[in-house]
Every structure is written in structure tokens, then in C-alpha cells.
Structure 1
Amino acid sequence: MQYREATQLREQNPDMARAEIARRVDRPAGAVRGWLVENKVPRVVSGIQTAREHGWINVNSESERFRSLNQLVAWIFSGGGISVDRYTPHFSVDDPLMLAVLSQHFRWLQLDYRRRHPENPEHHLEVVPAEGSAILGRILSILGAPRGVKAQLDNISLPGYLSTVDDEHRRDFIRIYLLNRTTDPEQAGSYIQSVPSETYAHELCDLIESVTPCSATVGHQHRVWVPAEAVHSLAGGANMNIRSGLATAAVYGSLSPPTERAFASTYRRTETPGGYRYHQCYQAALAQEDSKATLAADLGIPESTIQSWRRGSRPYATNSLEQAREHGWLSSKVESETTTSMIALLTWLLAHGALRETYYPIFRSNTDTQQERFASIAETIGLSYNIVHQDDDYRSTEIRPAVGGSLLGRILYVLGAPRRSEPQTTAVLPPLAYHYPRHAKQVADIWCLHYAKMSTSEDISFTLTIPRRTGEQFSDALATLLSDRLNWTISQSTPREIVVSDYPEDTSVPISSYIQ
């Protein structure tokens, strides 16, 4: 407040002495000199600026950013913490699947992260924001996340906003709890462990019962029993691979992404209302006959915008949603060839491609086999494309969409592809790939297409190379996918080499045709 008053006084009275400005705002002359002469900014002001730049203020509950903030709050309760003095948050991660969940939420919040290995080898890996950590911690604390050691807090309680948001956010909150605090969700029901108090345990029970058809109970040492039917409901009805089902539903809001909300949230990402809410406002403006003034007050948008819409203009998000539906790229069934092809293209970007800041994707290709595979994928989803630099000895051959490139790129972004301006080294395989073996197979196929090489040893089938650009954690994530989901026999000779000695035969896409 004093900083704002000082800068306003200088703007309104450019000849006023700094000493007089300091006297009026009741701050030392040295502090005022720093503001007005040296362009210094108080920490609280810079913090607000950072929060606004990342879109963390006035967040619509319909946006993917709110879904991410809500789940990070749940993570602090169930598998993380916020330091009391510095407000620095940390998030515990126990496997590549949970790292994939966390990574996706950090991308929506426009944050990079770093991994922090605990001194005690029995403790889980910790993830902390690479920048803006104290600001994020304050945001999460304001939303209701506790600071300090939760077991020492007598009055810990669930965030108040959970009573006002839609059921989907309450379900997400419980999903993160189950992922972080249950013994084994694949069993017939699960216990939520390490609940700090009996009162809090009953709050969790009430929350579970409000969004599932079952009753949860409080057991010994405040453990909360969640029946199998409730767990399956939260995992999207999955009866197998419950853990990956919970993770997939938490990240995407659906077991068959991308949702229209997530796609529209790629527009107006740091503005209020955000892309999906803006689309909803447009629909309301056309459906309701109220005056422009009434609608503007109800929707929180200018009257001029409503007038423009009623005269025929439409938000970019609305136009793009319509086009994506026409292509069949939204709301496709998870077992469909369209979804399978999207997973293949997502993996291609992670392996050998790039997503521009405008969401336009570029797929690189080195061989005729790769181009033939891309042609098959493109035919499946109705994508026209151009091949450039094919005869250039100094540049990689690139495959570029001819029509609907940015639409496709937004779909792939929602599924897990980072944009070029975002850190590539923290992008990992998306939860969707872990949940469906068919999609895991697509990941393996595309990775083999680009990086499989025959070994000189007769005892080894082939070796998969992991390029350095993918970061340290990608190799472990891919190894987990191949071994746990596809039952491949693998070993890691180096951190960036996965040796495949055996894999189940699959005649649909013969991997042997990719191996160089």
C-alpha cells in the first residue's frame, strides 16, 4: 500500500521532493529512494506480480489451473508440506506415475520443478518448485493447506472452499489422498493412513460420502476405511489398475481425455475469465435475453463484449472447440483409433519433435519408415501435412500439419506435451499411458521407431536410447512402463540406455520393423 501511494504521489506530483513523499507515506527516505530512483519493488508487490503472471489470482473454478491448485492443496495434506517460515512447499513422490501427475499440474501452473533427494533413503523423493516457490506456498496456504508438521497441528481441518466447489473438485481431492495415503488401492477397499486427528478423519469420511455411493468409516489410529466400490468410482469405474485409473482421472478429469474444459483452458490462460469460462459466458450471453448490463454484472465481462457476441463474433475458444469436434479429436472413446493415434503423436513430440509457443507441433523424421508410420497415423485422424527440409543435408526433415496444426497441438498439450518455452527436461510420460496397455504399446512402438538399435550380442534383442533432452527421470518412467505395463524384460546398462532382452509378440505393429 505504501509503495503504491509513493509511486502515485510521484506520478501526480513529479516535482515533489522524495523526503516529502517519504513523510506522507510514513516510510524511511532510503526505502522511498529505492522505489522511485532504483526501481526496487517490495517483496509483497513482486509476489503479487508473479502470481498474476502465472494466473494464480482470481482463478475460475472451471479452469484447469484451479484443478491443479486444488490437487496441490490435497497433496500438501496427504504427501507434502509447507515450511512455516519461508512458505516453501514440497511434494513427496514415490513412483513415476505420481511424478507424471505432479508434472502435469506444474505445467498448468506454468512452473518448472526440481527433484530433491532425501538424506534418508527410506523417505520418498521430494519435488519442489524451481522458482516462485514461496508465492505458490502462500497461494496454497490461503486456499487452506496447512503449514508446518501436520501431526503437531491440533486444529487441522479440510479447506473451506471444498464445500462450495463442484463435486469433481472434491473427487479430485480424495483421489490425491488415495494415491498418497493408501496401502494398496488395488485391493478390496483401502485404508487412508496417517490421519492427524479423529475430527479430521470424520471430515474425510464426510467428504468421501458426499461424492461416492458408499460410507467411509474411521478405524483404529484414525485410519479411514474407503470401500472398494468408492475407490472404483473415483477411479472412473475401473476394476483393474486402480492406481493408474485414479491418477488418470485426477490429471485429466476423465479416463478418456481430452475434455472440452481442458482444451478450452489453453486459451486465455492467465486472464479472468479463463478460456473455458469465457466460452461458457459466450453461451450464456446468447441463451439469455437479459440486458447487456445485467449479463455483464452476472458474468463479470464488459457490456461491449456481450454486444459484440450478439452481433456475431465468437471467442477463439468457442471456434476451436467446434473445429476440434468436427475433426473428431474431442470426446473420442479411449479405445478408439483416434485416441491411440493421439498417444502416438504425443510420444513422437516427446521423442523427436517440438511444440511451439503457439501450440503448433513439429514432428522430426530421419527415415522412410518413420514417414510411413506418420502417414498411417495422419490418415487415421484425418490430418493433412507437409514434409519440409527433406533434401537438406544440414537440417532434419520435419513433418508439419497443413491444416488444424494449433488445434492438434492443443490436444497434445492437454495430454502431456510441453511447449518449447516450457522445460523439456521435466516432461514425463503421461498417466494415460500407464493406465491403458494399448496406449503403453503405442509409447513403446514410437520410441522404438526413433531410438531402437540392434545389439551386437546374441543374447540381447535391442537397446533403447534416451536422449539427454528428456531429462533424468524420463528413463526410469519409460523403463517402468515397459516392465510393469507391457511385461517386457529389460535392464538399464546406463542411465540413458534400456536394454530389452525379451518382449511379448504383437503382430499388430511389429517392433522388429523399427529396429535399426
Structure 2
Amino acid sequence: MEWDAPVLEARDLARTYDGGAYSDSWAAVLDFQAVLRYANTHPNKGSHAISSALEIPRGRVRSWVGYDSKPDAVHGIEVAREYGWLEATPRDDTFQALNALVANVFSGGSISTRSFAPSFALNHREHRSHVLETIDATGIDYEFAHEDDDSRATEVRPTADGTVLGRTLVALGAPVGPKAELERLSLPWYLDEAPFEVREMFVLAYLANRGIHHAGKDTIQIREERPQRYRDELASFIEDIAKEPVTSTEHGITISADAARSLGLQPRYRNPKTSFE
């Protein structure tokens, strides 16, 4: 990964959408762009001529040129570009915000399998949770849910363009649907070659939601009802950042006192009140 190059590619975002008549939604984007280019350079050509020249069904061309329609993937790409998500490089604050939100999906949030709308549970800091500043940094508006329900964690849910944000996070490797049911859950692909500060931010955002502190102990635990392979991967990743021992167990992960201190984590002596799965 080049540190000065954008991380997210438009085609990866496009492929989170249903392509309709296209098996590959990115192909729909390319056809749409080709039709608009041809129409702009041949302003006197109608839909029939464009269809013949590009070998694209006339009904599709007519919809795109005559009625200003566009594939859903094109709309998503345009929205993501307006927010600066497609241009964000690993060194940008915008990408760090997206990175932290990906970590929050893994550790205290979810993305709907039906709509791709994301939601994030507030952690023990409630309305001072880091996820609120993180969402602000993406430029997205949000609202709260379950604020008056003592049996559920308060959630923050992006409103306008929230589903595009959700798809952006998925394109970066965030899981869709209940994480405990995903047999092939794995950490985001971009972390393999990301700068240290990106990798460290992911860990710190993750632990802000999942880290469990106990009175009289400097170790930190993570309880994960997820595949052992994922727990092993996560433990190894945290250890690589902390440079101190982190172990994976049958029911979770134990971060040694030395690793906790290396990460700059301060004991808060709490037990989780609510499961975020």
C-alpha cells in the first residue's frame, strides 16, 4: 500500500451494489460512463445511435441519457467522492475516521445485510464515546436509538447517506450481518500494509469497545464468541502493535499488563453490561 495513494477504489465500492442486469455492478458503472462520454462528444446522436455504437441495450441508454437515471453504484460512488472517502489516503484524517469506524463495526456495531445501514453501540463512556467524534469526522449526520431503553445499549445511526457509508466500510473489509454467525470473519485487508498509526488506531478503537478491565489486575480481556481462527488473528495483530504478549484462549483474548501499558491503556475496572453482538 502506498501511503500517499487512496486506499478505497471506486470499483470495490461499486461491487457492494446489486448490478441488476449486470452480473458485475462495476460493468454497469463503466457502461454508464461510456454512454455519457459518447453522448457528450456526439450531442446530436440519439439513444438508438448510441446504443448501436456502444452495443448497449437502447432502453438502458434512453434511461441514462433521456431521463437522467443512473445505476445505484454510480450514485454511491458520487456520494463517497463528495465526502472525500474515495480520495482518502492512509495519512488523511478522513481515512483514519473510516478506519476507526471499521474497527467499531467489528467491536461494537453492525451493518444491515438488507440495507447496508450501519449502527454503532455507544461504549461505557456513553455520549462521550469516541465513535461520535469519528462519525463527525466523516461528515455524516446521525441520530440516536434506544436512549430510553435500559435493556439495550444506546446506538448511534448515520442518517442521510448512511447506507453509502455502510457500503464504504464493507468495501474496506467490515463484516455485514451478525458477526458471531460468520465462519470466515477476518480483519480488514488494508491493515496488512497500512502505516503503524492506522493499525494502532484500529486496535485502540476496538479495545475502547471490547476491552474488559478487572479490579486488581492490569491485564485486559476481550470476550469474543467468534471463530477461534479470528481470535487468533486478532490476538496476533494486537501483539504486533503492542510488541508485548497477547494470548488467544477458547473464549477470548488476554492482553498482558505489559501489552496494555505499551498501548497506553488506563485501567477503568468495569465489566460489560451489554453484549454488542
Query: What is the CA distance between 1:30 and its match in structure 2?
Result: 4.4
Query: What is the CA distance between 1:82 and its match in structure 2?
Result: 1.2
Cα RMSD for the two superposed structures: 2.5
Match of 1:215 in 2: 245
Q: Map 1:8-157 to 2 at 5 A.
A: 8-97=37-126, 99-117=128-146, 121-157=150-186
TM-score by length of 2: 0.78
> What secondary structure sits across from 1:147 in the alignment?
coil
Q: Distance in 2 between matches of 1:118 and 1:199?
A: 35
On the 8 A contact 2:246/2:254 being kept in 1, the answer is yes
Q: Distance in 2 between matches of 1:98 and 1:196?
A: 28
1:159 aligned to 2:188? yes
Identify the match of residue 189 of structure 1 among 210, 219, 240. 219
> What secondary structure sits across from 1:203 in the alignment?
helix
> What secondary structure sits across from 2:174 in the alignment?
coil
Q: Distance in 2 between matches of 1:168 and 1:75?
A: 16
Identify the match of residue 168 of structure 1 among 184, 187, 197. 197
On the 8 A contact 1:71/1:176 being kept in 2, the answer is yes
> What secondary structure sits across from 2:185 in the alignment?
coil
On the 8 A contact 1:178/1:185 being kept in 2, the answer is no
Which structure has the greater CA radius of gyration?
1
Query: What is the CA distance between 1:113 and its match in structure 2?
Result: 0.9
Q: Distance in 2 between matches of 1:204 and 1:73?
A: 14
On the 8 A contact 2:123/2:129 being kept in 1, the answer is no
The number of residue pairs the alignment matches comes to 240
User: Which one scores higher on RCO, CA 8 angstroms, separation ≥ 6?
Assistant: 2
On the 8 A contact 2:101/2:135 being kept in 1, the answer is no
TM-score by length of 1: 0.43
Identify the match of residue 264 of structure 2 among 230, 235, 250. 235
Q: Can you list the C-alpha shifts for 1:400-442, whole angstroms capped at 9, x where unaligned?
A: xxxxxxxxxxxxxxxxxxxxxxxxxxxxxxxxxxxxxxxxxxx
Q: Distance in 1 between matches of 2:130 and 2:213?
A: 18
Query: What is the CA distance between 1:153 and its match in structure 2?
Result: 0.8
Query: What is the CA distance between 1:7 and its match in structure 2?
Result: 1.4
Q: Distance in 2 between matches of 1:8 and 1:160?
A: 34
On the 8 A contact 1:232/1:242 being kept in 2, the answer is no
Letter in 2 for 1:215: P
Query: What is the CA distance between 1:95 and its match in structure 2?
Result: 4.2
Q: Can you list the C-alpha shifts for 1:4-44, whole angstroms capped at 9, x where unaligned?
A: 12212211222212223234445554443332233233221
On the 8 A contact 1:50/1:135 being kept in 2, the answer is yes
> What secondary structure sits across from 2:212 in the alignment?
coil
Q: Can you list the C-alpha shifts for 1:367-405, whole angstroms capped at 9, x where unaligned?
A: xxxxxxxxxxxxxxxxxxxxxxxxxxxxxxxxxxxxxxx
| CA spacing shift, 1:98–1:181, aligned 2, 3 Å | farther
| CA spacing shift, 1:119–1:32, aligned 2, 3 Å | farther
| CA spacing shift, 1:214–1:49, aligned 2, 3 Å | same
Match of 1:480 in 2: none
> What secondary structure sits across from 1:131 in the alignment?
coil
1:7 aligned to 2:63? no
Identify the match of residue 253 of structure 2 among 221, 224, 232. 224
Query: What is the CA distance between 1:195 and its match in structure 2?
Result: 4.2
Match of 1:359 in 2: none
Q: Distance in 2 between matches of 1:185 and 1:23?
A: 70
Letter in 2 for 1:209: E
Q: Can you list the C-alpha shifts for 1:37-78, whole angstroms capped at 9, x where unaligned?
A: 332332211211111110101321111111111111111111
Letter in 1 for 2:156: V
Q: Can you list the C-alpha shifts for 1:180-200, whole angstroms capped at 9, x where unaligned?
A: 112327742121012411111
Q: Distance in 2 between matches of 1:37 and 1:76?
A: 40
> What secondary structure sits across from 1:111 in the alignment?
coil
On the 8 A contact 1:235/1:242 being kept in 2, the answer is no
Q: Distance in 2 between matches of 1:66 and 1:98?
A: 23
On the 8 A contact 1:217/1:225 being kept in 2, the answer is yes
